[in-house]
Amino acid sequence: MNEPLATTGALHGCKVVDLSRVLGGPYCTQILADHGADVFKIEPPSGDETRGWGPPFQEGTASYFLGVNRNKYGLSLDLSAPEGQAFLKALLQDADVLVENFKPGTLEKWGLSPASLQKAFPRLVHCRITGFGADGPLGGLPGYDACAQAMCGLMSVNGDADGEPTRVGLPVVDMVTGLNAALAILMAINERHRSDRGQFLDITLFDCAISLLHPHAANYFLSGKIPQRTGNAHPNISPYESFATGEGEIFLAVGNNRQFALLAEVLGQPDLSSDARFLSNADRIAHRDALRQTLAPLLSRHQATDLAQVLLKKGVPAAPVLNVEQLLQHPHTRHRGMVLEEGDFRAIASPIKLSRTPATLRRLPPAFGEHNEAVKATLSVD
């Protein structure tokens, strides 16, 4: 068990028992682990299924698992057996946080209900991540990122206007659920300073997916109109979409009249900002097609990366549309320290930058059951 070398981290001294698998829970606990928490990741005897979600693989473990399980101790445990339950209870004796994403009723079946855990460990913050929660019309049913995207309206507003509803190209619901879980845990730990009591946190993919529906839900509440797909275009702002240039695509996110006037100036057509069709954002929305047809030939004279740089320096939101490789090799990505490198291990770094207690890489993603014996030796368990 390698100990921190560079810094104790903002969450140094916080002990987290992580029973979660796949993405939402592990992403949450990696956030905590990056900032100093001691996270004990407990996998079932079959292992976290994401170990097999490849290729690519490194020494038999998929990149998917490696991407969200650094800075954790790796344990394997059969919680359906008395020995496994005894091991877990020994770990929880001095734990601050328990994170799990079992289907509701699973822990209860093993005699580990939230109520019994709160009674046995009154200061424990118990975070449960599920698809829909334990009750209600969908209570107890399993949840999955793509299904939440489909059911909770995200797919309905994602995709081309004349195309099919489209899944967002990354597991956005799982990840925002992990973020909300980490936020909830820190709130509960902060409240515990006053009450000296833990509490149960009920975080669901369903709720978190719904929380992402801005501005579409706000638009619907005010207008009563069902939001539609608009491709890369924004339903409330124009020009706010991608355009082809002479080399590469550029995304323009022009949010006010001043920015539009600056865009027109950079493109050599300052009179555009006084064109009656484009005077205000409402005008530009009403004449969206005409605006796009006007901008397209002007933008085709430029190169996306260079033009975006010029526009940004002028105060006009713009960016080249990069692929993953281009982004990871971008000099600003390196400047911000957003790629972790340790030997053959590379990963996205923590985006949370703290001046005195920064995130650190203290241990690589664990092999299956890597720390079983070392951790067991520190516990009073047979």
Catalytic residues: 174
What six digits make up the tokens of 362?
Answer: 């203290």
Burial letters 138-148, b for 16+ CB under 10 A, else e: eeeeebebebb
| 8 A C-beta contact, residue 32 and residue 185 | yes
Q: Where are the extended beta strands (E) located within the chain?
A: 15-18, 38-43, 57-58, 61-62, 72-76, 97-100, 125-130, 200-204, 240-244, 249-253, 318-320, 339-342, 345-348
**Pick from 249, 175, 177, 178: nearest CA to 208:** 177
Euclidean distance between CA atoms 310 and 315, whole angstroms = 9
Classify 6 as helix, strand or coil: coil
Euclidean distance between CA atoms 208 and 214, whole angstroms = 12
Count of C-beta atoms within a 10 Å radius of residue 353: 10
Compute, in degrees rounded to 10, the torsion defined by CA atoms 349, 354, 355, 359: -40
249-253/318-320 β-pairing: antiparallel
Compute, in degrees rounded to 10, the torsion defined by CA atoms 42, 48, 54, 56: 10
DSSP-derived letter for residue 226 is: P
Classify 149 as helix, strand or coil: helix
